[in-house]
Amino acid sequence: MKVMAQMGMVMNLDKCIGCHTCSVTCKQAWTNRTGVEYVWFNNVETRPGLGYPRTYEDQETWRGGWERTRRGRLRLKGGGRFKKLASIFSNPKLPSLDDYYEPWTYEYDTLISAPLGEHTPVAQPKSLITGKPMKIEWSANWDDDLGGGPEVISEDPVLVKIRDQVADRVKLDFENAFMFYLPRICEHCLNPSCVASCPSGAMYKRAEDGIVLVDQDRCRGWRMCVSGCPYKKVYFNHKTGKAEKCTFCYPRVEVGMPTVCSETCVGRLRYLGLFLYDADRVLEAASVEDEQDLYRAQLDLMLDPHDPEVIAAAQRDGIPSDWLTAAQKSPVYRLAKEFEVALPLHPEYRTMPMVWYIPPLSPVVDALVETGHDGEDARNLFGAIDSLRIPKEYLAELFTAGDTDVIDTVLRKLAAMRSTMRDVNLGREVDVSAAEAVGFDESTVYELYRLLAIAKYEERYVIPAAHSEQAHELEELGCSLDFDEGPGMYGSGPFGEASGMPVPVAVENFHALKQRQTSEAVLDTGNKRGRVNLLNWDGKGAPAGVFPPDPGKGS
């Protein structure tokens, strides 16, 4: 047994209202730059829907993730090492910009500079790729809230898969449609196929906390990681020619702060914490024959941080004691392993993803109430799960490789919690039969309720800070762009944009923050240079007026 620590996330889909705050704040923090306009480290998809990039889940087309050979070995679905090298001059499975969308801005200037005329001036869309006027035909969220209707939605790869089984229950016409939201970040997999696909060896999994990162200095822009990732959560920066991906906000996590997406989630549906797992058995778990056993195999990898044997092994393997404590208090461990209500997304990709989801139950209650039933009664709820408006089969295809029994169990647990807590809230005698039916006792129900419904900040986020003695293990390996003399990412090197030495993100943020805090005005109103629309700042250099002059240097 080799114990390793892994930062993980759980999202409670029952609470996601699809407000996209996580996506927006993530974008502002990480991908508000030229070259990554189309990049969403965090995005929220409406399911059913095409996803981002479109139909990324169709692995017969995109060939991401792993597959099991007949002899029981794992191999990259996109082809082995030789095939990767043979196709290096033109990556055959790279989504094109059309599969994402062509990013754009608007000609805002027209609004104020147009001559007086009969008609109101219009800010025309302008491509951020070509700089030419363009017709907007798709975006990161074109099918948000089932936008586009049946003709778009019906191409959802998950829906295509289950269509035959549940044809009678999957209805896409307006009154009968179903939907829920699926926020996605990089899964920071235990068995990452993007890392395995990288010819340069630039992608790596941090041994300390399992966060998967791209070494910007070693990336040579072969783009195999983009093809290798079945979740398509590695993106290609078309300006710098390097891969970029969700960083799990490691500069924040290292100092004990939650990721930006978690921190800003208005629904408070994200949980962050540690898993301890047995690194020696990852490959074995990822290679189990039956896809539907993958969830269980992954769960079995997660070690019980209270087990004396695990504790001893963890200490032997260099896990600091406060990390052990954090692992014992980890909300993600409790939700995934103790309560078994959180499920991995698409375990059939065999990457052992470490972002887990609690499947949504909500619509069933409303549906029951509408039919005149008591929507919170356990018996009604249990019965209704089978006829959920969101078909179990659909959820199963997302979270358990099609095993509806697991989905059923999880939803029953959530339903039992609801009905038990309802008794408590109404001051009735607590009927524990529903809870017992799913293997919970009353106190377990309270604990689950506290974690899911009360969701205190410090209980949602149990993040042990990186150790000072470990600090140099966690050094930022370069995420951005500057030179010895440059104040951050504001320069351009002699070999085209973004060449030169990288500056650590924390340093860059530090300077930006310092400048903001030491300038007198909120905006530099002294001249017109202050007029910059930050939302559409394409990240090219330092737009005049965004960063006040450094008082230390004079202007």
Half-sphere exposure of 72 (CA within 13 A, CB side): 4
User: What residues from 502 to 531 belong to the interface with other proteins (CB under 8 A)?
Assistant: 502-504, 506-507
Phi–psi pair at 343, nearest 5 degrees: -125, 150
For tokens 């289950």, name the residue.
162
Regarding beta strands 355-358 and 3-12, do their DSSP bridges make them parallel or antiparallel, or are they unpaired? parallel
Which tokens is 236 given? 């290609």
In the bound state with other proteins, the residue whose beta carbon lies nearer, of 39 and 410, is: 39
Q: How far is the CB of 96 from other proteins (least distance, A)?
A: 5
Gap between the Cα atoms of 476 and 479, Å rounded: 7
Stretch in the footprint of other proteins (CB under 8 A) among 139-147, 172-180, 465-473, 544-552: 465-473
Q: Is 17 in the site for other proteins (CB under 8 A)?
A: no
Angle (CA) 62-405-401 rounded to 5° is: 10
Site string for other proteins, 91-110 (x = CB under 8 A): xx-x-xx-------------
Total binding residues for other proteins by CB under 8 A?
69
Backbone angles phi and psi of 358, in degrees to 5: -90, 115
Residue 329 exposure: Cα atoms within 13 Å on the Cβ side: 12
Establish if 347 lies at the interface with other proteins (CB under 8 A). Answer: no
The yes or no reply on residue 221 touching other proteins (CB under 8 A) is yes
The CA distance from 170 to 530, in Å, is 52
Q: Is 126 in the site for other proteins (CB under 8 A)?
A: no
Instruction: Build a one-symbol-per-residue string for 178-217: x at contacts with other proteins by CB under 8 A, - elsewhere.
Output: -------------xx--xx-xxxx-xxxxxx-------xx
| CA pair distance 235, 186, nearest whole angstrom | 11
Read off the tokens for 444: 């377990």
- Out of 26, 50, 219, 341, the only residue in the binding site for other proteins (CB under 8 A) is 219
Among 19, 136, 266, 471, binds other proteins (CB under 8 A): 471
Q: Tell me the closest approach of the beta carbon of residue 135 to other proteins, in angstroms.
A: 14
Q: Let me know: does 105 contact 126? Beta carbons within 8 Å.
A: yes
Please, which of residues 228-287 interact with other proteins by CB under 8 A?
236, 238-242
- Find the shortest distance in angstroms from Cβ 36 to other proteins: 11
The residue count of the chain comes to 555
Instruction: Name the segment binding other proteins (CB under 8 A); options: 8-16, 79-87, 256-264, 521-529.
Output: 79-87
Residue tagged 């990161």 (tokens): 140
CB atoms within 10 A of CB 113: 9
Does the footprint of other proteins cover residue 72 (CB under 8 A)?
no
Q: Does 3 bind other proteins (CB under 8 A)?
A: no
Residues contributing to the site for other proteins (CB under 8 A): 76, 81-82, 84-85, 88-92, 94, 96-97, 129-132, 191-192, 195-196, 198-201, 203-208, 216-223, 236, 238-242, 470-473, 475-478, 481, 484, 493-504, 506-507
